[in-house]
Chains A and B, each alone.
Chain A
Amino acid sequence: MTFEKGLPFWKQLVLQALALLVAFTVLFPILWIISMSLDPRNLSRPTELNLIPPGASFDAYLKVMDKPTANPVTFTELALNQLKLAGGVSVFAVAVAILAAYSFSRFDFRGRRSLMLTVITVLMLPSIASIAPLFVLLNRASLTDPETGRIIFNLRNSLWGVGLALTSGQLPFAIWNLKGYLDTIPRELEEAARIDGASPNQLFFLIILPLATPAIAVTAFLSFLSGWTEFAISWQFLNQPKDFTLAMSLYNMTGPFSSDVPWSRFAAMALLVAAPVAVVYLLAQRWIVSGLTIGSVK
């Protein structure tokens, strides 16, 4: 093998063929779904493989934007619900978690190890495995009309309840992920400031917070991503169509009772759900990927 010179031509060809094959397998599902979403014939099912179907149009997107499922909610409402849920949980969890992460990363105090162990223990449990108690407990928080006996508000059956249930899992994740990042920030700067008499608050706001901004953004994005694709808790908790989310509707379009949903609309919906997070991911790829590996490896 030679290193300074380029590859021999035949080797280049073989490797190009391999790389193209891999690229083809990666692109195949994506092209399939894009092609299906553009199919104008409103066929319930495609009958052949086509990259660009004859007379491609955005018709399916318009139909999905209007009313994706049989439920009386528009795409905008679904997206707003999902956005409130994912955004709210992510901002809240990260804002609270950065404080705890600072404490865990920078101070030594009695009980530090056992408190950290508590966080990791909770983190280990997937959110599905705490769905039963959260459902039962949040269901108790409800207001009934004293005259008619009808339930006016049930915390479980609202986006607030789902948000609380999601925060329950997101907060330990955010603490741990942020702590992992803060551990990688060198301490020299703080130590100098500390000798000069800076208070813990000054250290946090003037040194740690600015340095941790990329970490905060990545953790917030990862938390947002899990809220954006959250299915199980919303599906279990919510039963009013006005609260439904994108993930729930996507399941509705592919689930057991979806045989009459044209595939072009399912495809358009899938792409619309994926697009916002995919775009952010692609733009901020470098930071997010390093964030993923740090969070997982630490």
Chain B
Amino acid sequence: MAIDTSNPGDFTKWWMRTTYTRAAYLYLVPSFVIMSVITFYPLLYQVWMSFTSYDITNLRINSDPPEWVGLKNYLDILSGALSAKVTNFDFVRILSFNLIWTFTNVPIHVVTGVLIAVLLNTKGLWFKGVYRAIYILPIVLPTLVIATIWRNMFDQTNGAITLGMISLGGVFNIPPEIFRIRWFESLDPPFEWFLPGQPMPWSFYAMLIANIWLGWPFMTIVATGALQSIPSDLYEAASIDGASGVQQFLNITVPLIRPAMVPAAMYGIITTFNLFNFIYMMSRGGPLGQTEILVTQAFKIVNAQQLYGVAAAFSVLIFFILLGLTLLTNVITKGTERYDI
């Protein structure tokens, strides 16, 4: 904007006119100054680090700067050459597990969550308030604590799951040894007879069970909100027309709660994809790194191997993977924002 500063009247006018714009920038200053120092600068520094051999020897003050290695860290990660330094490292396996983990969990959360919400929303059901109060408990407890509890429950000799299965099996004269499963150590894939060739170890199923317990109540809450906004005369009209309960569910409930469930599912996908505390506390990525996800592996490269340059490169890769995932979920969410009857 051209301002004639020789004329004070113009300047005053301009100053008055831009009051709100100036305020807008001023209110952003504290956040952006702080983020520049502790967020943006470290992230740019991370990109630089990712091209160097930064490791524990470069940590000391006055130590030599790390060597510039170009794309070596990235190539080591992608080609699997990193497995020489990081035990059980296999980028493709980790990424595939991460995706399988996410896309098995979230659909189960959504379906279970919606069905339980429908159950709770049934007119005339007794003790609704009691059930609602109980069903929120998994959300209320910190994930970190939940993961440690479930790990404890899956203990092969004294865990609650093991003890429970043994006493239940005792009724049918099933020997207790069958239920002493080494959930977090066993490398033999379970259910061979049922899912031949399925690659997941027992610890995946243990975590799947625990995370279903953890994940559905959020979906139930979202679905309950959506269900309560469906006008009941839609169902009345449908039942007059002779639609069965299942037909009503598929043709009224599902389409009308979809706009609420899709964003919730997308949120679930991102959360589950990065579920660090849960996996680190429960399986710790074991056995032999079989249940490692990207973020747990990133942490181990820093924490156990202290290969900061490699960890930086790995984090940059995580960034692009998440960028892809986020863009994908945004497209899906946008596409289903509105539903016209």
Q: Which residues of A contact B (CB under 8 A)?
A: 1, 3, 5-7, 12, 15-16, 18-19, 22-23, 25-30, 32-33, 45-49, 96-97, 99-100, 102-104, 106-109, 112, 115, 118, 121-122, 124-126, 128-137, 139-140, 142, 144, 164-165, 167-169, 171-172, 175, 199-201, 204, 225, 228-229, 231-232, 235-236, 247, 250-251, 253-254, 256, 263, 266-267, 270, 273-274, 277-278, 281-282, 285, 289, 292-293, 296-297
Pick the contact of B142: A26, A168, A273, A292 (CB < 8 A).
A273
Residues of chain A contacted by B326 (CB below 8 angstroms): 124
Q: Assess whether A293 is in contact with B225, with CB atoms less than 8 Å apart.
A: yes
Stretch of B7-15, B43-51, B198-206 at the chain-chain interface: B43-51
Query: In the complex the two chains form, what is the Cα distance from A13 to B119 in whole Å?
Result: 12
Q: Which residues of chain B from 121 to 175 have any CB-CB distance to chain A below 8 Å in the complex?
A: 122-127, 130-131, 134-146, 148-153, 155, 157-158, 160, 163-164, 167
Also in contact, A126 and B135, with CB within 8 A (given A47-B158, A100-B32, A171-B31): no
B25, B32, B267: the one contacting A297 at CB < 8 Å is: B267
Q: Is A229's CB under 8 angstroms from B277's CB?
A: yes
11 contacts between A and B (CB under 8 A): A7-B123, A12-B125, A26-B213, A29-B160, A96-B34, A100-B28, A109-B25, A118-B40, A130-B39, A236-B303, A254-B151
Given contacts A130-B315, A293-B222, A297-B263, contact A171 B34 (CB under 8 A): yes
Given A125-B43, A274-B142, A297-B264, list of 11 further CB < 8 A pairs?
A: A7-B123, A46-B158, A48-B167, A104-B28, A124-B323, A129-B298, A129-B315, A136-B59, A171-B34, A171-B35, A232-B277
Residues B35 and A132 in contact, CB atoms below 8 Å apart: no
| 3 nearest CB pairs, A to B | A200-B23, A107-B24, A100-B31
Closest-by-CB residue of B relative to A156 is B59
Q: A29-B150, A231-B277, A297-B263 are in contact. Are A107 and B20 (CB under 8 A)?
A: yes
Chain B residues, Cβ within 8 Å of A129:
295, 298, 315, 318-319
Whether B27 lies near A103 (C-beta < 8 A) is: yes
B145 near A274 (CB under 8 angstroms)? yes
State whether B302 touches A231 (Cβ < 8 A): no
Q: Which residue of B lies closest to A293 (CB)?
A: B222
In the complex, whether B274 has a CB less than 8 A from a CB of chain A is yes
Q: Given A29-B150, A131-B299, A236-B302, does the pair A49, B160 have CB atoms closer than 8 Å?
A: yes
Chain B residues whose CB sits within 8 angstroms of the CB of A19 once the complex forms: 119-120, 125, 127, 131
- Check: B30 CB closer than 8 A to any chain A CB: yes
Determine whether the beta carbon of A99 is less than 8 Å from that of B38.
Answer: no
Give the distance to chain B from A101, nearest Cβ to Cβ, in Å: 9
Instruction: Please tell me if B245 contacts chain A, counting CB pairs below 8 Å.
Output: yes
Shortest distance between the CB of A184 and any CB in chain B (Å): 15
Chain B residues closer than 8 Å to A164, beta-carbon distance: 38
Contact across chains for B39 and A168 when beta carbons are under 8 A apart: yes
Cβ-based interface call for B322 (8 A): yes
**Interface size (B, Cβ < 8 Å)?**
99
- The answer for the CA separation of A104 and B144 in the assembled complex, in Å, is 33
Let me know if A232 and B299 touch, CB within 8 A.
Answer: yes
Residues of chain B having any CB pair with chain A under 8 Å: 19-21, 23-25, 27-28, 30-32, 34-35, 38-43, 45-46, 49, 54, 58-59, 61, 116, 119-120, 122-127, 130-131, 134-146, 148-153, 155, 157-158, 160, 163-164, 167, 213, 217-218, 221-222, 225, 232, 235-236, 239, 245, 248, 263-264, 267, 270, 274, 276-277, 280-281, 284, 295, 298-299, 302-303, 308, 311-312, 315, 318-319, 322-323, 326
Decide: A130 and B23 in contact? CB cutoff 8 A: no
**Min CB gap A64→B, angstroms:** 14
Residues of A within 8 A of B280 (CB): 231-232
- Expressed in whole angstroms, the Cα–Cα distance for A117 and B144 within the complex equals 31
Q: Check A6–B124 contact: CB distance below 8 A.
A: yes
CA distance A199 to B43 in the complex (A): 37
* Contact status B124-A12, CB under 8 Å: yes
Residue of A with least CB distance to B263: A297
> Would you call B46 and A133 a contact (CB within 8 A)?
yes
Which residue on A lies nearest to B24, using beta carbons? A107
Q: Is B23 a contact of A201 with CB atoms below 8 Å? A: yes
Beta-carbon contact of B157 and A232 below 8 Å: no
Across the interface, which residues of B come within 8 angstroms of A125, CB to CB? 43, 315, 318-319, 322
Set A25, A289, A296: member contacting B213, Cβ < 8 A: A25
Chain A residues whose C-beta falls within 8 Å of the C-beta of B213 in the assembled complex: 25-26, 29
Indicate if the CB atoms of B160 and A122 lie closer than 8 Å.
no
**Among B42, B137, B158, B319, which residue has the most Cβ atoms of chain A within 10 A?**
B42
Cβ–Cβ contact B122 & A7, under 8 A: yes
- Verify B125–A281 contact, CB threshold 8 A: no
| Cβ distance A214 to chain B, nearest Cβ, rounded Å | 17
B157 to chain A, nearest CB (A): 7
Do residues A32 and B160 form an inter-chain contact, with CB atoms below 8 A? yes
**Contact partner, B302, options A48, A131, A167, A168, Cβ 8 Å:** A131
Residues of B within 8 A of A225 (CB): 142
Q: Are B281 and A263 in contact (CB under 8 A)?
A: no
Please tell me if the beta carbons of A109 and B158 are within 8 angstroms of each other in the complex. no
Contact of B144 among A100, A106, A124, A229 (CB under 8 A): A229
Q: How far is the CB of A71 from chain B (nearest CB, A)?
A: 18
In whole angstroms, how far apart are the Cα atoms of A295 and B70 in the complex? 39
Closest to A35 in B: B160
Choose among A3, A97, A232, A278 the residue that contacts B123 (Cβ–Cβ < 8 A): A3
The one of B31, B137, B167, B312 that contacts A27, using a Cβ cutoff of 8 Å? B137
The contact of B134 among A27, A33, A165, A270, by CB within 8 Å, is A27
CB distance from B265 to the nearest CB of A (A): 10
A135 touches B135 (CB 8 A): no
The minimal Cβ–Cβ distance linking A286 to chain B, given in whole angstroms, is 10
Q: Are A270 and B145 neighbours in the complex by a CB distance under 8 Å?
A: yes
Select one of A122, A144, A169 contacting B40, CB under 8 A.
Answer: A122
Residues of B within 8 A of A124 (CB): 270, 319, 322-323, 326
